[in-house]
Amino acid sequence: MKSKAQFAMSSSVALLLVSVLGALGGTAAQAAGKTVITVAYEFSPGSTTNPIGTFLNKMAKEFEATHPNVIVKPQEIIADEGAYYTKLDLEEQSPATAPNVVMQDTFLISSSEQAGYLTNLTPYVDKWSQWKEFYPAFQKITEYDGKVWGIPNGTDARYLWYNKVLFKKAGLPVPWHPKTWAQVLAAARTIKKKLPGVIPMNVYSGVPMDEAATMQGFEMLLYGTGYSLYDYHDNKWVVKSPGFLHSLQFIQTLYRTGLGPSLGQALNSDMGTVVSDTLLPKSELAIDLDGMWLPGSWDVKGSSSYWPQWSKVLGWTPMPTENGQAPGYDTLSGGWSWAISAKSGNKALSWQLVQLMTDKQNIALYDHLVVNLSPRKDSATLPLYKNTAVNYAFSTSLLAHTFFRPAFPAYAKISVQIDTAMENVMTGQMSPQQAMDAYAQAVTRIVGASHVETLNHPETAVQLRP
């Protein structure tokens, strides 16, 4: 983790960099006598491939072919996810450096809008016939305060992965489709009994795992109970509920009865990499609650994590709801979008480019390249999209009933409190009830007593989703 001083230094360097880039971009535009549309996107340090850059270069050629007086200029921001936001925010503070189009995490739409960085796209989508092709849930994921601030370009899903070879050795059924949490835990107990040395199940948990613990772990449990983190009808954070308690009890059972990884493994910030690069490929883990993106690293020839046999060894199945209640499973989705900077001097042209990048064919291409799921219903029928990976059809089928994290500025702080509650339970420092009580107190301090509530009955549809 960077210190404040390091962040300050990197921010200063980033500000100097974007100032220089802005000046150079303006000079180039004037010299060419053409309008330049810049598209900022994240490029992770150390990456050996650049699928987003490949996509944007193709889009630039397509757009320029029909707009001869325009130059589309992809602008990679070399940074990990946290630093990307810092650098992007710095760029968006001035018209001289602000990109026209930005790759925007849907989760941070509300924060960016409140900071004044984004353009309201509602007037555009109201006149856009293709907007109806996006799943209704994904029309909402970039909405804040009743307005649309971005066009989703890709999403994901989460579910259970299991090792078919280990299951057969333990006498468990293959294929495996548990209907309740009890059946999931029963399979984990069988693995522990029959296959000593194999980790029965992994659910990311604890503060070091950050958002992976919150989203891949806790919320994948919570939303299967009929309860959520936020009540969209009453506009309050749900700080106590039977679902919250039961989710912590699941974590307690997993980690306090030897069904999960050791605490040393689980409380390692690199656990995600250990799972995908070591534990699953080496058949040292039987069940993993994780994301649909895992094959993205296994399918890359020449990479250190190349694992061509993965689809023969692993199976996948939905994470069941707690007691099998409808619709029988739950999943969570995140994803990114294309947004238009509030300080963009060419919003009409920027919108035309966004339309091109998110049409049926091109959004399928984008999601094929970056190994994401399409937020458009019609793209799922295209061969290029369907053939991206063997788990794609299954992953896409889950989007009809997906959930999202509450996209409010307070969530980042609340997420830390969820991770803390999980860690207190998994380490035995608190009981699930004590951890929930401590969570309720912490969230009340964060958002205020008038913005929290306790629920004792499962939430209705209008409470669960925006």
pLDDT (tens digit, 9 = 90+) per residue, 251-306? 999 999 999 999 999 999 999 999 999 999 999 999 999 999 999 889 878 878 89
pLDDT above 90 (res 200): yes
Nearest to 111 by CA among 137, 150, 138: 150
Radius of gyration, CA atoms only, the chain:
23
430 vs 393 pLDDT, higher one: 430
Q: What is the pLDDT of residues 163-174, one digit of tens each?
A: 999 999 999 999
Q: pTM of the entire structure?
A: 0.84
- The mean pLDDT value of the chain amounts to 90
Q: Between these two residues, 448 and 86, which has the higher pLDDT value?
A: 448
Q: Which fold has domain 4-156+334-388?
A: D-Maltodextrin-Binding Protein; domain 2 (3.40.190)
Per CATH, the architecture of 158-332+408-464 is what?
Answer: 3-Layer(aba) Sandwich (3.40)
- Domain limits, the chain: 4-156+334-388, 158-332+408-464
Partnered with residue 115 across adjacent β-strands are none
Query: What is the per-residue pLDDT for 288?
Result: 98
The answer to whether 33 and 71 have CB atoms below 8 angstroms apart is no
Strand partners, 76: 41
Give the model's pLDDT for residue 389: 85
> Residue 348: what residue type?
A
pLDDT in tens, 294-342: 998 898 788 788 999 999 999 999 999 999 999 999 999 988 999 999 9
Mean pLDDT of 43-65: 90
Question: Which pLDDT score, from 0 to 100, does residue 32 have?
Answer: 60
CA distance 218 to 240: 14
pLDDT band at 12 (very low <50, low <70, confident <90, very high): very low
4-156+334-388 and 158-332+408-464 have identical folds: yes
CA–CA dist 328, 262 (Å, integer): 30
Distance CA 133, CA 379 (A): 9
Residue 18 has pLDDT above 80, yes or no: no
Tokens found for residue 149: 């601030």
Q: How far is CA 361 from CA 351, 357, 397, 421, 454, in A?
A: 17, 9, 19, 44, 46
DSSP 80: -
User: pLDDT tens-digit profile of 117-168?
Assistant: 999 999 999 999 999 999 888 898 899 888 999 999 999 999 999 999 999 9
